[in-house]
Copies of this chain bind each other. A is one copy, B any other.
């Protein structure tokens, strides 16, 4: 496909940085966090290892960028909690799938899960992100008790679904549409987050 600009190349630095992140995502998803070195990522991306150290302080920083999804937790939480209270669960499920249910984001989820399962260093940011930034904010907004446990149960249900749909690929969980899944998951999240 041609770029919108008629002539010249886009700035090479952006291309290269993006290519490195893409290679890193594939390597982390395939082999886990510990097993992948900066050197191996450089090799997969076809660049000099020094370039990786120019862009990122170290492997943790590169990993975080690799699995990050371009989301604004505050906006997502506002979208979930604003509106009729009986729709909190359905809106939480809809937000979750709108973020994760695309092919490149599935790969991010696999990398994130592999990282969190294999490394305490990476489990911590996942815990903090999920609880402080997303589900914990929702239960604070809805005022349910015990908030942290309900936030944890919500994260458990959706992380389990993503594990079975995107990683383990259990056929009925892969074949179901987002709409079918939401019919089942909406009431579960509603009970955990708002009832």
Chain A positions within 8 Å of B, measured between CB atoms, are 30-32, 34-35, 110, 113-114, 116-118, 123, 126-127, 130-131, 146, 148-153, 155-161, 163-165, 167-173, 176, 180-181, 184-185, 187-188, 191-192
Question: Given contacts A31-B118, A35-B35, are A148 and B171 in contact (CB under 8 A)?
Answer: yes
Q: Is the interface of A mostly helix, strand, loop or mixed?
A: helix
Question: Given contacts A31-B118, A117-B113, A160-B158, are A152 and B170 in contact (CB under 8 A)?
Answer: yes
Q: Is there contact, CB below 8 Å, between A176 and B149?
A: yes
Q: Is there contact, CB below 8 Å, between A31 and B31?
A: no
Q: Which residues in B have their C-beta under 8 angstroms from that of A131?
A: 170, 172
* Complex copy number for this chain: 2
A176 and B147 CA atoms in complex are apart in Å by: 12
A172 and B132 CA atoms in complex are apart in Å by: 12
